[in-house]
Amino acid sequence: MTMMRVAPLLAAVLVSAAAASAPAVSEAGQSACAGVSGSPLDGASIAGVSRLVDRVSTENKKFSFTRVVGAEVVVHADAGMTAEHLERVARCRAAAPTGAENDPIVAGSSVRVRARDGAFALQITSKDPAVARDIVARAERLR
């Protein structure tokens, strides 16, 4: 069962979508990602997957609706795993996504990692609705 979480879009965005969708990794990006390989989800024990939505109101505040902005993937923490390391790996993956069918870190996505009670939550989002739906579909394949 998919749990919906309301999360402000701006709070969930850490890695710039423009940088993530760039076709090539910059020289500075290559050096920052030197020695980093794989995905933060490779071999991870998935604790849960949920959709991230943003609540949007009309200008006059009479109507509001929600829109899907991405997914949150919670992984169990392994010994020695840190949020900082996962963040670095996720940023490198966002800069050069693999395109693998079950990898929710895709071109045009942003990733934020938070520690949560013996686990880590990866919030993977996009401002582009089609990319956000793709993120959710890929994340749900991880279950």
Based on its alpha-carbon atoms, the radius of gyration of the chain, rounded to whole angstroms, reads: 15
> Does residue 57 surpass a pLDDT of 60?
yes
What's the gap between Cα 56 and its chain centre?
Answer: 20
Size of the chain in residues: 143
What's the gap between Cα 22 and its chain centre?
Answer: 17
Sequence spans of domains, the chain: 3-34+41-140
Q: What is the pLDDT of residues 100-127, one digit of tens each?
A: 888 999 999 999 999 998 899 999 999 9
Q: Considering the chain, what percentage of its residues have pLDDT values greater than 70?
A: 78
